[in-house]
Amino acid sequence: MQSQTHENNSLATTPLMVKGVMHHYGEKAALQGVDLVVKPGEIFALLGPNGCGKSTLFRLISTLVAIQQGTIEVFGADCTSARARVREHIGVVFQAPSLDGKLTVLENLWCQGVMYGLSGKALKKRSDEVLEQLGMSDRSKQLCQELSGGMKRRVELAKGLLHRPRLLLMDEPSTGLDPAARLDLWRALTQLRDADGVTVLMTTHLLEEADKADRIAIMDQGRVVACGSPTDLRKEQGSEVITISTDAVDDVAQKIESQLALSVNRLSSEVRIVSEGSVSRLSEVVQLALPHSSQVTVGRASLEDVFVAKTGRAWE
């Protein structure tokens, strides 16, 4: 009995637990047995190319689509049998804009607040709080159609935070943002994590964005192929990468494998050697590669290298 109680308490403090989730669109398998645990107070990224299943998983977690097989729990509440409780715990920021441009920033927040049962002084106070938290207090009376892309994204974020969610879900949060606005958004997210303990789950196809997350689940063809911190995932591949740009991928790869006994990854116009100590053999690699290559570079393993190693395919 004590063991069961401990397990229930643990589930209640776990922001997200996904077990054996399968999902099909007709004959097409979008998710094929996904298992995932998101820890309290972390920024977690679902990373993958378009069509990998991350958006489908996002819609299942946000209770917009019914779960066909498997279970998803948000702070212990089941997304199938306790959808109302799940929705109390989550805030959702969708990829597609949801602001009414003809309304002011504050009016957009009030419309959102009413849907969560907020009204009067309580709604006004909470709206002022989230706008101040996101540095938008001076824009409260401005029409949303007059805001920049980055400012609009902040208002979307404010809407998602209005009812004090414990888990914030964001679908491709950097869509349409310039580099400065992306940095601005990440500052806001890290502040939410550090100051308020909000857990963030986002989907993204941007490698550089996922690299800023605390942990990542790399998805491909409906499966999680790797999961961990960006640093740990790169370390698994080795700290050194030699990249050979070539039009003769198979010829160069075969020579390196047979003559130098080094493992390689074949891409459409590149051969990559990702292993500890590979740089010590750089001169040998160059000697073999130069007749067939235009460039040989040295660097550290990237998340793209992780994807290639796990899937055998280039990142698209």
User: For residue 188, what pLDDT is reported?
Assistant: 85
Q: Which residues contact 1 (CB under 8 A, 6 or more apart)?
A: none
Range with the poorest average pLDDT among 12-21, 47-56, 271-280: 271-280
Range with the poorest average pLDDT among 206-215, 224-233, 290-299: 290-299
Average pLDDT over residues 138-161: 91
pLDDT-derived band at 293 (thresholds 50, 70, 90) equals confident
pLDDT in tens, 64-78: 999 999 999 999 999
Beta bridge partners of 246: 293
Is residue 173 predicted with pLDDT exceeding 90?
no
pLDDT-derived band at 280 (thresholds 50, 70, 90) equals confident
Average pLDDT of the chain, as a whole number: 89
Q: Both tokens of residue 32?
A: 């094929």
User: For residue 233, what pLDDT is reported?
Assistant: 92
User: For residue 239, what pLDDT is reported?
Assistant: 66
pLDDT-derived band at 224 (thresholds 50, 70, 90) equals very high
Is residue 232 predicted with pLDDT exceeding 70?
yes
Average pLDDT over residues 301-310: 87
pLDDT-derived band at 7 (thresholds 50, 70, 90) equals very low
Q: Both tokens of residue 118?
A: 């907020």
pLDDT in tens, 190-208: 988 998 899 999 999 999 9
237 in Cβ contact with 306 (< 8 Å): yes
Sheet containing 265-266: which strands, arranged edge to edge? 265-266, 270-274, 241-246, 293-299
Amino acid at 23: H
Average pLDDT over residues 154-168: 91
Instruction: Please report, rounded to a whole number, the percentage of residues in the chain having pLDDT higher than 70.
Output: 95
pLDDT in tens, 23-35: 999 999 999 999 9
pLDDT-derived band at 219 (thresholds 50, 70, 90) equals very high
Is residue 307 predicted with pLDDT exceeding 70?
yes
Average pLDDT over residues 47-56: 94
User: For residue 213, what pLDDT is reported?
Assistant: 96
Which residue ranges does the chain devote to CATH 3.30.70.260?
Answer: 239-300
Q: If you classify domain 239-300 with CATH, what class do you get?
A: alpha beta
pLDDT-derived band at 8 (thresholds 50, 70, 90) equals low
Is residue 5 predicted with pLDDT exceeding 50?
no
In CATH, 2-229 is 3.40.50.300: yes
pLDDT-derived band at 264 (thresholds 50, 70, 90) equals confident
Q: Does this model's pTM top 0.75?
A: yes
Which residue ranges does the chain devote to CATH 3.40.50.300?
Answer: 2-229
